[in-house]
Amino acid sequence: MANSYLNIPVPNPTNNPVPSADIRDHVFGGAKIDEFVTSLLNTYVDRFGNEHYTVEGLRWLAQQAMAAFGYVPVGTFQAGATLTLPNQIIKDETDGEYYRWDGSFDKSVPAGSTPSSTGGTGTGKWLAIGDASLRQGLASEDGTDLISKGNQTLTDYLNDLFDRLTTAENRLSSNYYKERNVKNLGVANKKLKSLESLTIVCVGDSITAGYDQTSSDKIPADNGDWATHAPIQYPSQLQSVLSGLTGAAVTVINRGYSGDTAKLSYNRWTTNPNANVAHIMIGLNDSDGVAGATFDEYSNYLEMMIRRYIDWGCGVVLHTPTAKQFDNVNQPSNFFGQYAMSLANLYGCPVFNAHEVNQHSLYAGVYSDATHFNAAGYARLGDAVAAFIMAGGWVGQHRNINSLTSIHSGRSGEGIGFFSVGASLSTNLAGAYLTTGTVGLFPASKAASMCFSFYLDADVANAYVIGDITDAVVIMSDTYGKGDGVISRLTTKALQNRNVFETTRTTIQAGRTSTGRNSLVGAYVGRGWKNFVVQYNGNQSAEHFLQGIIIEPVKASEATQTNANSFRKAFDEVYVMQVPQYSLSSAANIPTAVTLTGDYFLPLPDGLYPYVGVSGNYFDSAPVRVTITTFGSSDATANPNGVTELLLSRQVGTTTLKIDKIYGSSANSITPTAAGIGSSAYTENVTTPTGVSKTTFPSTTQQGWLWLTFASTATAYYRIEVRCASKGGQGTWLA
């Protein structure tokens, strides 16, 4: 891998003002640092064309200063001395003059000597040095203060140069950590996808430790902590979910300690955990000033923690602090978390927003006190972190779902995670329910699961499946044995009777999902990270399959529940047919009037499928209201202009519908002679009613039609409007 970075060309720099954020200038600056340190030339040229000294140049400059001014006294002629270097000088106490030796070294001067007695004066001999006091000052510790460089001293110039180099080093250093962090996270994601073993370390305070001192099911302190814990902590739930739903061998280390600040945590955990990824969530105690913590201390130690764990070989993910009692009083931990987000950008750390988890549950359902969670609250946090990871959060690939989104089984390359354990994936263009031919197969008598993970960027969404998942357990959320208070719901008290609650676990009964249509499973409530799990325990006697799911963000009034007491929501589904058709392929002229003769087909309204019963049952299907308007009739007596209102309903188990005329603007207003339900086989690129059977119900891949039969009418213009109270935007109901 390292060889791939050999011989990367240095980019041309920009002329951006200093400091520049352009990566080209960073790389160019890095190369100039190398030139400054290692070049044997005396100068280098910066990106503005200005010339500066290199280290070699500064050495040369110092030598010049030393040669000119920096002489070192080593003794006197009268006391005797030995000179070994050309900048060493010796004093003649008889006149106070200093001399340097211009000959070869070493030069020995016996005691009681004079310049004349030890070689004489002149070239190649002793040379008198004038300005001896100045030279001695230049040779002192503060000698550079006596040398000017432009409009400043050499001392100031060198100090400024050092500061600039330090700034450049720090900038390059954060980029260096960012590069390593991104690579570490990418490798960890690959390990998870490849079902290899990997280790995650969760670092933090009491929220990570699992602090709970009030719940009846609390357990003794462990992991070196001093406080009692909930029986589920978010790291333990994270390990359970990742191992169970991905099939990878995942180990999660809990480095949470109750009461820790960033500084305390940094000083507590000083050994390498040998992990692939570190999830760091710290700041609640810092924001409260625990142990004298300040914002500056928090920011410094959080950055030190990031660097330490990257140095230990981890990819680093930062979590914002969780919300104290739903954050009803705008806690200071908010801006601590916001700082963590900005720091994350500097170091390439993905951010998990822990603040939004549990916001739609009841207080007693998830909190054990005003700050800490109970087992259910911690478990929900662990589930959300697992969804973040499985959706691609480590590599920043996750996709926010805020509009209708279809996801077929096996597809995980666009920011929506998919994992299967014990199931198989294949393509069957002829037999699958989807045009893509996707088939996710659950084998008979074998435990298996499929899981989709995503970020729901909406407060409410309906969820549907396409496939046959009879006897499967669908898990959209859980209560963890803590009761309905855990379930996410709309927070307006006056709307609680609308039953807008997040679906938890649903067991799919026979006949609910094998129609080849989109089958409603339930609703998500609350913005955040979600898992959609379809699971078999091995007791199924036959093969089943899941071809995909659909997530449909909706208004709260459109959220639907599969077990909502004795009432269900419905929505008008309307189709309009113009006869004759107004073609967009020709000029906007009024077409020629026509007669209504024979069969006319419209897509089968969703309400004509049973709400609860299996396909073919009729007792709970909806009636269809048909409005026929006649304009410009050629026979005002037999087929007068006006409006006819009809109700079509299923009365028996056949495909024929009963016709009830409920309004006619005249006695002879137009009425079909028959109406019913039909079906046609799916054929690629054929959307018109081709080969429709008027006597069979649609099933699996077949398309459903509503047909109306008319006897020959007068020529006129007709508008046929079909309106039905359908189950929702997508498809059939489950139990």
Residue-wise DSSP of 676-694:
EEEEE---TT--S--S-BS
Q: What are phi and psi of 190, to 5 degrees?
A: -65, -40
Q: How far is 658 from 672, CA to CA, in rounded Å?
A: 11
Structural domains for the chain: 1-69 (no CATH), 74-139 (2.10.10.80), 172-395 (3.40.50.1110), 400-558 (2.60.120.430), 572-725 (no CATH)
Q: Which of 574, 398, 366 is nearest to 477 (CA)?
A: 366
The token pair that represents 186 in the structure block: 């990418």
97 membership: H or E segment, kind and range: strand 97-101
Pairing of strands 97-101, 88-92: antiparallel
Which residue carries 């929900």 as its tokens?
380
- 91 three-class SS: strand
332-378 pLDDT, tens digit each: 888 899 999 999 999 999 999 999 999 999 999 999 999 999 999 99
The token pair that represents 96 in the structure block: 């106070």
DSSP string, 238-276: HHHHHHHHH---EEEEEEE-TT--HHHHHHH--S----S
Percent of the chain predicted with pLDDT > 70 = 91
pLDDT at 140 > cutoff 80: no
pLDDT at 151 > cutoff 80: no
Residues whose CB falls within 8 Å of the CB of residue 688, separated by 6 or more in sequence, listed in order: none
Rounded to whole angstroms, the maximal C-alpha distance in the chain is: 150
- 630 three-class SS: strand
Strand order of the β-sheet with 571-579 is: 571-579, 717-726, 624-631, 642-649, 658-664
**Does residue 580 have a cis bond before it (omega within 30 degrees)?**
yes
93-105 pLDDT, tens digit each: 988 888 988 888 8
pLDDT for position 22:
79
Q: Identify whether the C-beta of residue 297 lies closer than 8 Å to the C-beta of residue 286.
A: yes
pLDDT for position 609:
78
Q: Which of 255, 248, 395 is nearest to 312 (CA)?
A: 255
Tell me the whole-structure pTM to 2 decimals.
0.73
Q: Which of 200, 212, 182 is nearest to 240 (CA)?
A: 200
The token pair that represents 428 in the structure block: 């069957």
Query: Which residues, listed in sequence order, are joined to residue 421 by a DSSP beta bridge?
Result: 449
CB atoms within 10 A of CB 37: 11
pLDDT for position 110:
95
170 membership: H or E segment, kind and range: helix 154-193
pLDDT at 121 > cutoff 80: yes
220 membership: H or E segment, kind and range: none
